[in-house]
Amino acid sequence: MKRVLAISLVLCLVGVLAAGCTPASQTSGNVIKIGVYEPSSGDNGAGGKQEVLGMEFANTVVNTVEIGGKTYKLELEIVDNESSNDKGPSAAAALVSAKCSVVLGSYGSGVSIAASDVFKNAGIPVIGASCTNPQVTLGNTHYFRVCYLDPFQGTVLANFAVDNFQAKTAYILTKLGDDYSAGLGNYFKEAFVKLGGSVVEETFQEGNSDFTAYLTTAINSGADVIFAPTSTEAASLIIGQAVSQGVKIPLMAGDTWDSSVILDAAKGSDLEVFVSTFFDEGDNTALGSEFVKNFKKWLNDNPDKKNNNGGNDIVAAVSALGYDAYMTAVEAIKKAGSADPKAINEALWDVKLTGVTGDIAFDEVGDAIRNVAYIKQANTTDASWIFVAIQGVE
Amino acid sequence: MRENVLHIENVTMQFGGVVAVDNLTVDVNKGEIVALIGPNGAGKTTAFNCITGVYEPTNGLVSFFGETIVSNHPRGKMKKLYAGQNREFCTKVVSQTPDKITKLGIARTFQNIRLFKNLTVFENVLIAKHMRMKQNFLTATFRLNFMEERRVREESLALLEEQGLLGVKDELASSLPYGVQRRLEIARALATDPKLLLLDEPAAGMNPQETQELADFIVQIKDKYALTVFLIEHHMDLVMRISDRIYVLDFGKLIAHGTAAEVQKDKRVIEAYLGVAEDA
Amino acid sequence: MDMKKLIKTAGPIALLFLLLFVLEKTLPTTSMLFVVLKKGAIYALVAVSMNLLNGFTGLFSLGQAGFMLIGAYTYGILTIPLEAREAVYQYFDGGIVSFTVPVLVAIAAAGLVTAVFAYLIGLPVLRLKSDYLAIATLGFAEIIRAVFQWDKLGPVTNGSNLLKRFPVFTSTLFPFAVAGVCIAVIVLLINSSYGRAFKAIRDDEIAAEAMGINLAKHKQMSFTISSFFAGIGGALLAMYQTTVQAAAFRATMTYEILLIVVIGGIGSVTGSCLASFLFIACSEWWLRFLDEVTYIGAFQVPLLSSGFRKVVFSVIVMIIVLFYSRGIMGTKEFSLDALFRFFKKRFGKTKKEDVAG
Amino acid sequence: MGFLETNLPYIMAGVSVGGQYALIAIGYTMVYGILRLINFAHGDIFMAAGFMMVYLSASLPLYLSIPLVIILTVLLGFLIERSAYAPLRKAPRMSIMISAIGVSYLIQNCAWYITSGLAKQYPAIPWISESVTVFSSTTKMVTVITPVLTFMLVAALVLLIKHTKFGMAMRAVSKDFETSQLMGIKINSVISTTFIIGSFLAAVGSLLFFSNYMTVTPTAGSMPGLKAFVAAVFGGIGSIPGAVLGAFIIGICENIIKGLGLTTFSDAFTFALLIIILIAKPTGLFGEKSTDKV
């Protein structure tokens, strides 16, 4: 028994070794690889998957690029960074060793920052789709992004809180060790205090599932709004417990909460949930409505993709951003006229295009220039988003 | 009168409500072989454990060459629970860990052999030398203690040769036959440079022939290393043959004390060993 | 010293480094091989340090992740360049540490700071036995993690935010050299008189004490030294990951290291080293294909999807734990001699038969 | 706002979570009492029960899925004991503990694989998921019924152990493994039954816990598991009333700490408590002292 087991184990290992050593897919002459560094599991898995969907969809729309008269096929190389800052760099290294020309990602600012140096050392440019923390691009020449930044988003939300609810006190709940959460919380606080409000801040730890005490503190502090920029995982817990505690204070959050997970959790309650986001499904620009229509069709044609979208065909803002990030990459490859990462990196500075989420051009830090955010409210009766306002910063 | 080596006075060891050793007083003088005998469960090993610091006695005092090494009186919970005698005997508390006591010069063996099973015979002996080496972990790690290490290795080899264990030097301790393990345990105890050797049932499980050899061996090492020996034993012929004096314990209490001949005649000893005849 | 023995141990090590050097010069630097080698070397050091405690001293401690955290943070805090501090400590006005030290000094400091923490933790904790010790050290690791995330300490630790921008290694040789030196020191310690005392404590505490070995002192020593090296391992891990964050040093990390030690054989240094490279290679590289949806022709290979790698991996680990509880090496050490003997024993016979036939 | 209104929610949350910890802690304490094994996988059994409920309730009505979850959880606990612990009965204690860690790793990874590490919404169970108002603070029914149910189950368990033949056998095994074997007690069946009871309580605990928090993740079991273990140690490992008391103390303290605003330390506090109790009174509140024989 033991011997058989030993032999089979050894055989397995040898097989695996063989499989591992022969590079799974060699860059053949006519393929340009675009790396996708996104979480498909863990805290941010749900959002990450939706972002990947946007990229995959974009890949079906544009899957070749012409350079110097030769047609190259564009291939996506997708890895899972597990939403984890310590697993991320290894996943990034896998992309580097697969010889990607440009990388897209990641959902979640922390993992983006964590892997930044891996790409930097390999000289590969990265285009972030929805990582909103300023630290991602700051001080780097290889990291770009197509979305707005947290200082902007935080200010937008603070303005919204003051304009709409005449909020004087805000309760801010952030997750320890999450750059996105801490950063956005911080920028919201700064803006809110500047507008004359006061804040009560608390943090929760990874793996925490009991938010009743936090919500009680929020109620006791007399807060007018609760601001909880967290992952969707924590969000569903917070919403569920807010419902059962009968919380009447409006909940607000950033782009992460723009997810069907939130809608499901809030369904059937009388909770008020507001989020700021990059894109609205009801977008009436030609490009936007075209994208929404085709993306929905693509989702409905591919059951497993629809499954990744949470089982419905609601277009998430991150999917739109994923789409735009991919298109930006394609544009850069065209402009560079080569599959060489360095050339693409150079070309990215001058890329200009109109994406489904608006015009994209990069400033000197590598951030897309954005000036509006969409505010949406959760419709708790039929689990959909209601468009509230386009909010900018004065 | 010979110099006193080990002095145990009024030692009581109580576990919860059970008095395992009750007011034991023993003296062992230099160069003597003294035996502690008694039926199973009489508290002999517990007495050894009190001397070597494994247990902290509830009450009483132990001194070694006149220096108090263990001293205690009922404290804390025991204040209420104490069921032994002479509770007010000593007021000072001296409590040492077994390693300190070994360092002072008391070495022991165990009833159920406790060798370092996964180490070789040679290593077993070397470990006993560890505490007397002049070194710290840095000098030891970077081999700056090589002179010391060489000396210790040579001494240990000499000791093994003497005990006839040189041939099995690199065997694992657990792979040795039972009798050899016993011998190794004694050799290991000798390697700590003791002045007093405590042997806990050294002849357990031996046949008469082996027991005889062991008796000679104990006398021989006693003379050679200028030791004093205090031993627990069930083999009466061994005890009677080599002991200068014998203490008899029963249910934790000392019931007799004297030379072999005296003890053999003692009525209470006979009763303890054979049971009291039911008077009609 | 025995010249022959020296050559036999130093030779292969020198060869290994030479090989690494050549590999680095020939293979593209982006190869996954280097990722595995770097991380493997770091885990090897941490696993050996844990083995010193669990395998050689018999102290079942589960605090390794906590000590690595201290090491990683110490390294990060001491080496972030002054000009980058403003950006890293963005919420804490650039932090209060306003000096940097050279990399090697910082690595040593990482070990020392960790050792000091470990010493203080060891004072109360080491009196506990086996599983109580395990759970108490696990608890301390969690406490350390919480303390380092506390925003009141933010000016030093940057609260719960990432530390980054500190010097990282450019060559695979660096982690190998540091880990190699550390492991060599641990091996020297294990083979010294103190190492024997540790093993004695592992085998039988009561007998060890009866041999004059001060249990408290030696346990404390082993615990502190082990933590010193865990701290250095933490510093190296920080360099490898390029960022540090307290949240990553969870109990899972300790469990992984423990499993490496078990797979390699509790009480075998070379076993721990081999196992850590295997472990890292499997989890980061060789088994990665299990995570990808694969088609052979039109046929989709069942089961393969994100996370399957870990399932397969943990099944392998369970098989080793249950059926090969002695691990790869047991308590033996790997050496060329042993390898030679092993092959002689296995294949010697067949050779003879060949000759006869 | 009165003092009661301000602080009652913390206390109620504490009592509720304490009751859920208690149900898990009993599994730890019973297994430790008999095998001297910290069953690291116990928290993961609890988590697995949560996922079973999520998947079963999607296709079955609740009156079927709840009993089925309990049965499957019990089966899981039983199988783990038989496959991962029973073969190592003669091995050193450290090996079994490592095996337990391995099982925990395996269950978590399987859960991760099945769910891709995504949080799953726990089904709402009628009545116990409904909101109630106690002294002007709103909470879920489950908060109120948890302590009641916990006490009922514990009382039943204590009666079982005190007054049945199996209970006697269990107590005997926990006192002395070898001797009770010689006395003709079927050790394996006693151990299996212990795991079955432990898993049963973990399944019930999981129903209550996840009804309260609504979301299951692959790591959802590890923290409650560790805390429940701390509770078991705190109360004196091997003692069921001790574990229950310890669980309530930890649950309430943890929520008070959060109420004080020291949220960073709510988990750390539990471990600090553990270390203090281990050092001050290693046997816990109700534990029995054991001395090593030399």
Whether residues C226 and C164 fall in one domain: yes
Torsion from C-alpha of A344, A349, A351, A354, nearest 10 degrees: 130
Chain D hits for A45, CB-CB cut-off 8 Å, are 116-118
Task: Please classify residue D204 by burial: count the beta carbons closer than 10 Å to its beta carbon, then call 0-12 exposed, 13-18 middle and 19+ buried.
Answer: buried
CA separation for the pair A44, A347 (Å, rounded): 31
CB–CB contacts below 8 A, B to C: 106
Whether residues B244 and B141 fall in one domain: no
Q: Predicted confidence band at B7 (pLDDT cuts at 50, 70, 90)?
A: very high
pLDDT of residue C357: 37
CA separation for the pair A73, A77 (Å, rounded): 13
A367 falls within a domain: no
pLDDT of residue B237: 86
Whether residues A94 and A210 fall in one domain: no
Q: Reply yes or no on whether the pLDDT at B141 is more than 50.
A: yes
Whether residues A317 and A181 fall in one domain: no
CB B166, CB B180: distance < 8 Å: no
Whether residues C20 and C117 fall in one domain: no
Which of B164, B193, B222 is the last residue before a domain boundary? B193
Q: Count structural domains, chain B.
A: 2
Q: Predicted confidence band at B33 (pLDDT cuts at 50, 70, 90)?
A: very high
Contacts of D19 (CB under 8 A, 6+ apart): D146, D147, D149, D150, D208, D247, D248, D251
Whether residues C65 and C207 fall in one domain: yes
Whether residues B31 and B168 fall in one domain: no
Question: What are B60-88's pLDDT values in tens digits?
Answer: 999 999 999 999 888 877 788 887 777 77
C321 falls within a domain: no
Which ipTM score applies to this complex? 0.85
A161 falls within a domain: yes
Q: Between B84 and A299, name the one with better pLDDT.
A: A299
Whether residues C153 and C205 fall in one domain: yes
Whether residues A184 and A307 fall in one domain: no
Q: Count structural domains, chain A.
A: 2
Domain hosting residue C54, numbered range? 32-251
Q: Between C203 and D3, name the one with better pLDDT.
A: C203
Whether residues C24 and C160 fall in one domain: no
Ramachandran area for residue A358 (φ above 0: left; ψ -120 to 50: alpha; else beta): left
pLDDT of residue C353: 44
What are the start-end ranges of the H helices in D164-219? 165-175, 177-182, 187-213
CA separation for the pair A5, C144 (Å, rounded): 41
Asked if the Cβ–Cβ distance from B141 to C192 is below 8 Å, we say yes
Question: What are B201-260's pLDDT values in tens digits?
Answer: 998 888 888 899 899 999 999 999 999 999 999 888 888 889 999 999 988 888 889 988
pLDDT of residue B184: 92
Whether residues C79 and C197 fall in one domain: yes
What value does the mean pLDDT of chain A take? 85
What value does the mean pLDDT of chain D take? 86
Residue of D nearest to A82 (CA): D117
C272 falls within a domain: no
Chain C hits for D98, CB-CB cut-off 8 Å, are 258-259, 262, 321
Nearest Cα residue to C318 out of D87, A3, D188? D87
The nearest CA of chain A is from the CA of D9 a distance in Å of 7
pLDDT of residue B189: 94
Question: What are D73-119's pLDDT values in tens digits?
Answer: 999 999 999 999 998 888 887 788 889 989 999 999 899 888 877 77
Which CATH number belongs to the domain containing residue A296 in this structure?
A: 3.40.50.2300
Asked if the Cβ–Cβ distance from C208 to B54 is below 8 Å, we say no
pLDDT of residue A309: 84
What value does the mean pLDDT of chain B take? 88
For A:145-204, CB contacts with D below 8 A are 176, 202-204
**What letters, b where the CB count within 10 A reaches 16 and e where it falls short, cover C25-35?**
eeeeebbbbbb
The per-residue DSSP string of A101-167 comes to SEEE--SSHHHHHHHHHHHHHHT--EEESS---GGGTTT-SSEEESS--HHHHHHHHHHHHHHHH--
Whether residues C15 and C136 fall in one domain: no
Q: Count structural domains, chain C.
A: 2
Rounded percentage of chain C residues whose pLDDT exceeds 90: 40
Q: How many CA atoms lie within 13 A of D134 on its CB side?
A: 19
Which of B169, B193, B217 is the last residue before a domain boundary? B193
Whether residues C12 and C128 fall in one domain: no
Whether residues B204 and B259 fall in one domain: yes
Whether residues C225 and C120 fall in one domain: yes
The nearest CA of chain D is from the CA of B154 a distance in Å of 32
Q: How many CA atoms lie within 13 A of A296 on its CB side?
A: 12
Q: Predicted confidence band at A20 (pLDDT cuts at 50, 70, 90)?
A: very low
Scanning the structure block, which residue is given the tokens 């002991």?
A: B243
Question: What are C51-72's pLDDT values in tens digits?
Answer: 999 989 999 899 999 999 999 9
Nearest Cα residue to B28 out of B273, B271, B197, B215? B197
Which CATH number belongs to the domain containing residue B19 in this structure?
A: 3.40.50.300
Whether residues A157 and A236 fall in one domain: yes
Asked if the Cβ–Cβ distance from C139 to D230 is below 8 Å, we say yes
The nearest CA of chain C is from the CA of A233 a distance in Å of 17
Whether residues A228 and A301 fall in one domain: no
Instruction: Provide the residue count of chain A.
Output: 394
Whether residues A310 and A331 fall in one domain: yes
Asked if the Cβ–Cβ distance from D291 to B110 is below 8 Å, we say no
For residue A318, what are its two tokens? 């991150």
Mean pLDDT along residues A305-312: 83
Whether residues A222 and A237 fall in one domain: yes
Q: Reply yes or no on whether the pLDDT at C346 is more than 80.
A: no
Neighbouring chains of B at 3+ CB pairs under 8 Å are C, D
CATH domain D23-280 topology:
ABC transporter involved in vitamin B12 uptake, BtuC (1.10.3470)
Asked if the Cβ–Cβ distance from C247 to A89 is below 8 Å, we say no
Is the pTM higher than 0.80? The answer reads yes
C102 falls within a domain: yes
The Cα angle at residue C172 between residues C290 and C334, in degrees rounded to 5: 75
The Cα angle at residue D140 between residues D134 and D141, in degrees rounded to 5: 80
C4 falls within a domain: yes
pLDDT of residue A17: 47
Whether residues A161 and A214 fall in one domain: yes
pLDDT of residue B1: 61
Query: Judging by DSSP bridges, how do beta strands D137-140 and C299-300 pair with one another?
Result: unpaired
Domain hosting residue B182, numbered range? 115-193
Domain hosting residue A93, numbered range? 31-148+288-362
Asked if the Cβ–Cβ distance from C200 to B52 is below 8 Å, we say no
CA separation for the pair B153, B147 (Å, rounded): 10
pLDDT of residue D5: 67
Strand blocks (E) in chain A: 31-38, 64-67, 70-80, 102-104, 126-128, 143-145, 169-175, 198-204, 225-227, 251-253, 273-277, 352-355, 358-361, 373-379, 384-391
**Residue C304: how many CB atoms within 10 A of its CB?**
16
Whether residues B166 and B211 fall in one domain: no
Whether residues C26 and C38 fall in one domain: no
For residue C16, what are its two tokens? 């290994």
Count of H helices and E strands in chain B? 11, 10
Asked if the Cβ–Cβ distance from B116 to C214 is below 8 Å, we say no
Which of B145, B160, B193 is the last residue before a domain boundary? B193
Which of A14, A16, A112 to mutate against chain C (most C CBs within 10 Å)? Answer: A16
Best-predicted range by mean pLDDT (A366-370, C212-216, D187-191):
C212-216
Chain C hits for A117, CB-CB cut-off 8 Å, are 164, 168, 242-243
Q: Between C261 and D265, name the one with better pLDDT.
A: C261
Whether residues A154 and A256 fall in one domain: yes
Distances (CA, A) of C329 to C226, C283, D41: 21, 20, 27
| Domain extents in chain D | 23-280
Contacts of D187 (CB under 8 A, 6+ apart): D173, D177, D180, D181
Whether residues B131 and B188 fall in one domain: yes
Whether residues C22 and C37 fall in one domain: no
Distances (CA, A) of B4 to B32, B169, B190: 10, 37, 21
Q: Does C60 touch chain D (CB under 8 A)?
A: yes
The nearest CA of chain B is from the CA of C293 a distance in Å of 49
B134 falls within a domain: yes
B110 falls within a domain: no
For residue B182, what are its two tokens? 């016993």
Mean pLDDT along residues A4-25: 50
